[in-house]
Chain A
């Protein structure tokens, strides 16, 4: 029985271009207080465009209604649990939104005189300090715009260090359980990728790793806890193996929500890592971004950090551009400052004890779900779960139902699906991460839904295979979307005269 959702009528809505009407507008500019300028004269006739063809023309209220109606078609954290593994879909605190819009911060221009940007620079400095403490690393850069961007930054720094030591080397080792951004990043920095197998407990096979590490290896990119939610118990040994051969260890910090206050990557040998501020540190996903990929480094990589770096001069902050070994910029200006404000507010709200408590709560929630679901779904690996648990669809596959189908049926129960078919090392994976935000009530509803679906698989597999049934939009034709991509609206051709 579906407890969490009921039927409800929802507004339809056309595209903006389909409801535009010539001459409608939603803006009002004040009158010019200077003489108008003839654009053709000032710019040259050929440089002036005619109208922006088919651009929207709607009133202010039509615009508001349009977007409001669209919003009602979305699921969101504010509506319910997202059990997406490795995404850490926790509450996005509203105080973060408020403080990010503080006028002096929101309107700050990156080139305004440093004496007039001290507030912004203090935010950056404070967050760098907090993240150094949390990761146990020597220094942090907040320049990268997202996790993948942070990986790129980190691997660039590794390459720079190795080049200084005599040679960049040729390849990067990546566990077969890794997120796709890892090998894609390695290629962007000119390395080839070699896959390392996982063992029967879902962790990096240390023997296989030991065989693979040699002087051609620049680094290992490891996620810890890994993408099956399990702590790499041999992490110290692993780091040792790499260091012995003069290679470095990059840690993908996507799963940091399991470690904050409990274990520090800097303490167990990691040389460089990224953090996803939009995961662990509660900044909003906003439908796909912005993110922020803070990168923390050990002492040995400090000289290579992207510039500029903050430096203290008396009681003032300054931007220091004199960084002879820096890898250079990875983006203009200083970072996704608006996201940094939100992350700092999150850290402040929790405090040291609160951050640790949040981690324990996240572990508690994940393990609670695991216990409830284990009788019904095959757990992928028999190792303790940290903040997420991973099942395979083997049991359900016997009835012809796969993880993707179960995920779609979960939508009928009022939840967003868990992470489907990732990591690739698990056959038909179901990756579930509740985060610390969820109450026991919400978790119980989720477990009930999953157990109910497991029963449906036994008794009525077609119901699950053809789900979702209750959404405003049923399954969409992704095949045609890929065969004949239409990625913009075009004015329909006029109907032919009969």
Chain B
């Protein structure tokens, strides 16, 4: 091959580079390892993590069972190693499954259109906010303090240089959004109000009431869903204008924080303002149904500095995991899964001292003298306890957020309850 090019050695491929840019040392990285050594290395690292512990952590990342079919499907090379479906003729597999994904997200959330996924729930929040700003031509955004604290931080990072002032709405004594505080802060320049349900404390928000207040002022309601399994049982936020959220619960491994799959969904009339990739139905040259990426003129590769967002990628592989999960559970299964989550969490909650008095799904906040002490004792029994809330809510320093899912076992819940009783 070198001969064909007319070069003597591979080094000739870079010899023309200016000498003051060439890196002539050896990279300070160990020599290449064999497959066995690599597998062993990661096994050893994994062993330094929690292993074989039951966990009561939720807070935006949930331990749900992953049906075996999920990895069987996504491990197929045609899904795993394929590129973005820009060439519709040879990507109908990806395009069809994304179309199904978009449909199922609409069915779950009660919205009319959904995109092919966002990076994650946390970054979907500012995208939803910016959508509302574009649509209303207003610039202020209100966000509930009961939205996941790290999601709120991300919103701040995104809006700081776009001329979008942010305000937070407090929560009432019962842990739900404080409607009076909302009324007070709903000025005429508000583009969006962002609320999460179930909220970070696990409680259901009063979406209908909030929507009425928000929309009467000409603002848009953006509802965040961080625990997607809840949608199997709770009434979806049909009154929202935009729904954003996280699908990690749908067979996406917790994997220490990522990769996940965010969603953004909205009403039909806002379809041209939605960011990210969209798959649309059409026909091929023979008149048969086919799918393709569509409305690309919203996106960065065409609109450049006037794009709806700079986002390029979607989380296709993770969205596929979620699609398989939703298919395997199906209409009845997702409901039964949600019912089991509800039962497990309410069983445990029934034995503990709850901080808030409002309906909750699979997470709840308990009062505890010393969260650290309790968690230390639980760890001795190979149980990871809940999340002490003082790190995010200094006013709730004697509180802990606990989560129970279909994977939580009764014995472990009894152990937790006993530990709390003797504190």
Contact = CB atoms under 8 A, between A and B. Distances in A.
Are chains A and B touching directly in their complex (CB below 8 angstroms)?
yes
A62 B309 CA distance: 38
A6 interface: no
B375 interface: yes
B32 A24 contact: no
Contacts of A411: 87, 89-90
B310 A285 contact: no
A187 B306 contact: yes
A67 B52 CA distance: 32
B154 A416 contact: no
Contacts of A67: 73, 76, 79, 97, 320, 324, 327
A471 B89 CA distance: 7
B312 A148 contact: yes
B314 A52 contact: no
A330 B339 contact: no
B-side interface size class: 35 or more
A66 B259 contact: no
A337 B305 contact: no
B114 A289 contact: no
B233 A477 contact: no
Contact of A337 (B22, B60, B81, B258): B258
Contact of B257 (A334, A384, A472): A334
A235 to B, nearest CB: 6
Given A77-B81, A147-B313, A330 B46 contact: no
Contact of B42 (A341, A407, A417, A477): A341
A64 B46 CA distance: 31
Interface string B34-50: 01011101111111111
Given A95-B38, A111-B387, A473-B284, A63 B82 contact: no
A417 B85 CA distance: 11
B311 A148 contact: yes
B136 interface: no
A74 B73 CA distance: 13
A32 B73 CA distance: 28
A211 interface: no
A348 B33 contact: yes
A474 interface: yes
B54 to A, nearest CB: 11
A481 B292 contact: yes
Contacts, number: 635
B398 interface: no
A70 interface: yes
Interface stretch (B2-10, B171-179, B181-189): B2-10
A189 B236 CA distance: 34
A70 B96 contact: yes
Interface in B65-100: 67, 69, 71-85, 87-94, 96-100
A332 B153 CA distance: 8
A287 B79 contact: yes
A133 B28 contact: yes
Interface string A323-354: 00001111111111111010001011111111
B78 A105 contact: no
Interface string B278-307: 111111111010111011110111111111
Nearest to B246: A332
Given A190-B161, A267-B21, A489-B99, A184 B307 contact: yes
Contact of A26 (B49, B301, B329, B384): B329
Contacts of B335: 51-52
B216 interface: no
B129 interface: no
Contacts of A184: 300, 303-305, 307, 309-310
B205 to A, nearest CB: 10
B114 A488 contact: yes
Contacts of A2: none
B324 A63 contact: yes
Contacts of A473: 88-90, 92, 284, 288, 290
A331 B261 CA distance: 12
Contacts of A268: 20-21
Interface stretch (A200-208, A366-374, A390-398, A450-458): A366-374
A371 B5 contact: yes
Given A145-B120, A149-B123, A364-B13, A339 B49 contact: no
Given A25-B332, A104-B46, A105-B49, 13 more contacts: A36-B343, A55-B334, A109-B63, A110-B254, A122-B48, A180-B299, A183-B304, A290-B258, A408-B89, A481-B292, A485-B271, A485-B280, A488-B99
22 contacts: A25-B330, A68-B73, A71-B76, A76-B82, A76-B83, A95-B39, A99-B39, A112-B384, A119-B44, A181-B310, A188-B309, A189-B161, A287-B82, A289-B119, A289-B316, A347-B29, A351-B32, A368-B1, A486-B280, A487-B102, A487-B294, A489-B99
Minimum-distance CB pairs A-B, first 3: A286-B317, A333-B257, A104-B46
